[in-house]
Every structure is written in structure tokens, then in C-alpha cells.
Amino acid sequence: MDLKELFLAQLEREAAAARKAVERVPEGRNDWKPHAKSMELGRLATLVATMPGWVVLMVERDELNLGDPSSEEFKTKAVATKAELLKALEESVAKARKALQGTTEEHLMKPWRLLMRGRVLQEQPRHVMLTDTFCHLAHHRGQLTVYLRMNDASVSAIYGPSADEQF
């Protein structure tokens, strides 16, 4: 199995797990957060829904320069409804799938950079950055399940059963 196929399979697994969490996000609670330093629920849910789109960014561009006005479009902005969250997830997964299907092993070996106002924060081969992105998605999805529990929403079984859902 080549890297492209590996990432396509991982995208499908992660998309299914993200969908299960996003479907349970309570509406009307976008501003809720467990602590003053925490991210708001609406922004976190939208981040989980749109993070698969980062794959497109890493396949189609050579870098992302945060803090630069040209990167404003990549900032996560909360959406109002669950339907919008699910639509954002489906769109980001479809775009990621298309980008992965259209790339090559050679391209996945080329470097990709994350910058902050021109300063390099991280530079790795694309395949390493994609792996990190899927790990980052799992982290935020886990964070979202804690937010769900704290808002009395059911928590889906993802890698194993939850108190609300058995396999």
C-alpha cells in the first residue's frame, strides 16, 4: 500500500469518527467553554469538522504563513447549526479525498512549511505533516467529546465503547 492509499483510508476512518462527534454537538451553545482559557464549543466543533480540509492545504500549497493577511481564510470560524457543521465536514472530507487522489508519492515526500509571520515553526515532508494533522484531529475530537459530556450530550463510541454507546 502506498502513502496515498494509506492516507485515503485514514481520512475515511477519521471522517467517520468526526461525524459521530459532530452529530452530537448541541445547538445554541457555541459560546460555551469549560474554562476562560479554553476554546469555545462552536469554534472547536467547527475545527473538528473542517480540519480534514488541512489535507488540501498540505497537498496543494507549499506552506501556510499564519499571521499573514493572506491566510485569514484558514482561520476557523464557528457555524451556527449542526446542519452547517455536517455540511462543512462533508465538504472538507470531499476536498481532502480529491486532493489525495490527485497527488503522487513523490509529491508527498516534498517538504511543507508552517510559518508564523514568516518565521518557520515546522518544516517536514508532506507525509509527516499529514500524519501530524490526523493526530491533531484525533486530539481535538477527543477534546470535543469532553465538551459534549460537560453539556449533557451523548458521547459516541469512537475507538471503543462509551458510557452512551456500545459497539
Q: Where are the domains of the chain?
A: 3-150
70 within 8 A of 33, measured Cβ to Cβ: no
C-alpha cell recorded at residue 25: 454537538
Close Cβ partners of 13 (under 8 Å, ≥ 6 residues apart): none
pLDDT of residue 70: 76
pLDDT tens, residue by residue, 91-146: 999 999 999 999 999 999 999 999 998 899 999 999 999 999 999 999 999 999 99
Average pLDDT, the chain: 95
Calculate what percentage of the chain has a pLDDT beyond 90.
87
pLDDT value of position 73: 78
Distance from C-alpha of 56 to C-alpha of 30, rounded to nearest angstrom: 26
* pLDDT at residue number 75: 83
> For 23-53, where are the alpha helices, taking DSSP H only?
41-50
Q: What is the mean pLDDT of residues 56-63?
A: 95
Phi, psi torsion values for 10, nearest 5 degrees: -65, -40
* Averaged pLDDT for residues 74-97: 94
Q: What does the buried/exposed string (b/e) look like for 42-81 if buried means 16 or more CB atoms within 10 Å of the residue's CB?
A: bbbbbbbbbbbbbbbbbbeeeebbeeeeeeeeeebebbee
List the CATH code of the domain at 3-150.
Answer: 1.20.120.450
